[in-house]
């Protein structure tokens, strides 16, 4: 009987010890900051930014708090992410332009060697009007997007499988997003027309891309359509929303949304497409944050590129009035859906510590600044020279 009594006492003590250990562990965890949301920002999407202890290991210690101003070690690590973003944008710009130049010179040399006596202007016209230019353009930008997207992800230590872990996304949501993008596309057209009128008043044109005579053959049109409507949306989303947005979102998601949209706009090197790319890029970044995946952005991007490509063909067969009516109806529906979306889903705001870790550090990065300046100067040169 005595032995049974002691066994019962020991068992009771063991249960009490386990309960106290669980309570101590719970208390310890309650004092630890949330490493996925260290800035305690209720408007952020914590899963997207990742574990902040990679930048600030002190978060593993109890009672640790984020200071208003980042310390030197934290600042250097944050700055590195902005440098990665700037380096990949600059590398993408240089590689794509150099490859295009090399490929064009190579094709001109080959065609010139086989067609003696033909001027270089005729050769260039042939390259542009056939499928050659369209194919080269597709291959160069596809390669550049993919290479620098994966290089940026590797340098930042971001797993590639995080890009497509989509949550809370279905066909109805996809349809609504496409209509919203249609409204954004319509608004951008009117804004671009207004800006173009101002530039024309001073003797300049905002549309520096003359597509007349480009890819006019059947094969050329097919290649250009595949690139514009499928390849470009997938690879551009992989680079801008897949890699760049995640790299910039480590500390300040709001800054990341507008920074990636700005770079996305500049990458098109003309004002009409900058307006559309910036407005659409802001929306694409927002839904990427919301769904923690580039899949929604890819679908919307494919839709908007396909729509803009087919509008001119529809006008030829159905008339401008019929096409305009369809666009207006879509834009009106998209406007109301955008109002509902913005009411329920806000672009993340920033807390005071995040402000100190956003643009303040980004513009202290040499590579980030070089990427911005080079893109702006190149676009300005195309417009004014």
pLDDT digits (tens, 9 = 90+) for 97-116: 999 999 989 988 888 888 77
Copy the structure tokens of residue 86. 């700037």
Rounded Cα distance, 375 and 371, in Å: 6
SS3 310: helix
- Between helices 218-226 and 131-156, what is the axis angle to 10°? 20
Is 247 a residue whose pLDDT tops 90?
Answer: yes
SS3 of residue 205 by DSSP? coil
Rounded CA-CA distance 267/93 in Å is 8
On the question of pLDDT at 162 being above 80, the answer is yes
Residue 282: both structure tokens together? 């802001």
196 touches 205 (CB < 8 A): yes
Better pLDDT: 15 or 292: 292
Q: Which CA distances in Å does 238 have to 147, 148, 151, 242, 285?
A: 10, 10, 12, 4, 12
Using CA atoms, how far residue 249 sits from 161, 257, 271, 282, 289, in Å, is 17, 8, 26, 14, 9
* Confidence class for position 371, pLDDT limits 50, 70, 90: very high
d(CA 216, CA 104): 18
Structure tokens at 273: 């497409």
User: 320-326 — which CB contacts under 8 Å span 24+ positions?
Assistant: none
Contacts 24+ apart (CB under 8 A), 123-132: 125/213, 128/213, 128/214, 128/215, 129/213, 129/214, 129/215, 129/216, 129/217, 129/220, 130/215, 130/217, 130/219, 130/220, 131/215, 131/217, 131/219, 131/220, 131/222, 131/223, 132/107, 132/220
Q: How confident is the model at residue 17 (pLDDT cuts 50, 70, 90)?
A: low
- Which residues contact residue 118 at a Cβ distance below 8 angstroms, ignoring those fewer than 6 apart? 111, 112
What gap in Å lies between CA 333 and CA 327, rounded to an integer?
Answer: 10
**Please, which pLDDT band fits residue 316 given cuts at 50, 70 and 90?**
low
Rounded Cα gap, residues 338 and 10, in angstroms? 64
DSSP 8-state secondary structure symbol assigned to residue 37: S
- Cα separation of 73 and 4, whole Å? 60
For residue 101, count CB atoms less than 10 angstroms from its CB and return exposed for 0-12, middle for 13-18, buried for 19 or more: exposed
Burial of 328 (0-12, 13-18, 19+ CB in 10 A): exposed
How far is Cα 124 from Cα 112, in angstroms, rounded to an integer?
10
Model's pTM, two decimal places? 0.89
Name the token pair of 48.
């997207």
Task: Indicate the domain borders of the chain.
Answer: 75-158+168-205+217-384
**How much is the pLDDT for 110?**
87
pLDDT averaged over every residue in the chain: 87
How confident is the model at residue 4, as a pLDDT? Answer: 57
Closest C-alpha to 226, from 218, 238, 124: 218
pLDDT for the residue numbered 173: 96
Q: What is the pLDDT of residues 47-98, one digit of tens each?
A: 899 889 889 888 877 767 788 899 999 999 999 999 999 999 999 999 999 9
Q: What is the pLDDT of residue 285?
A: 98
Cβ atoms within 10 A of the Cβ of 332, count? 14
pLDDT of residue 59: 80
Confidence check: pLDDT of 28 > 60: no
Report how far residue 324's alpha carbon sits from residue 190's, in angstroms, rounded to the nearest whole number. 13
Highest mean pLDDT of the ranges 18-27, 120-129, 147-156 = 147-156
Residue 363's pLDDT band, with cuts at 50, 70 and 90, is very high
Q: Which residue has the higher pLDDT, 225 or 212?
A: 225
């Amino acid at each position: 009987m005595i032995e049974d009594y002691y066994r019962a006492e020991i068992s009771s003590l063991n249960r009490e010890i386990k309960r106290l250990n669980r309570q101590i562990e719970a208390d310890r965890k309650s004092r630890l900051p949330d490493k996925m949301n260290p800035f305690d920002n209720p408007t952020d999407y914590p899963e997207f930014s990742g574990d902040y202890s990679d930048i600030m290991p002190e978060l593993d210690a109890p009672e640790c708090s984020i200071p208003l101003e980042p310390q030197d070690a934290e600042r250097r690590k944050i700055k590195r992410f902005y440098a990665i973003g700037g380096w990949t944008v600059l590398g993408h710009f240089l590689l794509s332009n150099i490859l295009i130049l090399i490929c064009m010179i190579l094709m001109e040399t080959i065609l010139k060697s086989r067609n003696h006596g033909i001027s270089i202007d005729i050769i260039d016209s042939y390259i542009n009007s056939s499928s050659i230019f369209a194919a080269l353009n597709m291959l160069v930008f596809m390669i550049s997007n993919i290479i620098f997207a994966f290089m940026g992800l590797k340098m930042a230590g971001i797993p590639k499988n995080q890009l497509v872990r989509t949550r809370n996304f279905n066909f109805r949501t996809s349809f609504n997003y496409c209509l919203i993008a249609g409204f954004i596309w319509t608004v951008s057209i009117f804004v671009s027309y207004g800006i173009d009128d101002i530039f024309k008043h001073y003797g300049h044109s905002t549309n520096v891309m003359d597509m007349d005579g480009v890819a006019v053959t059947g094969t050329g049109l097919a290649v250009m359509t595949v690139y514009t409507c499928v390849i470009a949306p997938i690879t551009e989303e992989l680079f801008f929303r897949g890699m760049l947005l995640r790299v910039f979102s480590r500390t300040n998601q709001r800054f990341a949304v507008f920074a990636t949209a700005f770079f996305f706009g500049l990458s098109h090197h003309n004002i009409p497409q900058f307006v559309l790319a910036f407005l659409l890029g802001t929306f694409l970044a927002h839904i990427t944050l919301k769904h923690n995946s580039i899949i929604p952005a890819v679908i919307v991007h494919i839709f908007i590129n396909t729509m803009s490509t087919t509008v001119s063909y529809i006008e030829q067969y159905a008339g401008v009035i019929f096409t305009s009516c369809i666009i207006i109806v879509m834009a009106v529906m998209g406007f109301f859906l955008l109002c509902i979306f913005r009411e329920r889903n806000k672009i993340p705001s920033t807390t005071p510590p995040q402000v100190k870790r956003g643009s303040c550090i980004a513009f202290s990065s040499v590579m980030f600044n070089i990427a911005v300046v080079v893109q702006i100067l190149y676009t300005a040169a195309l417009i004014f020279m």
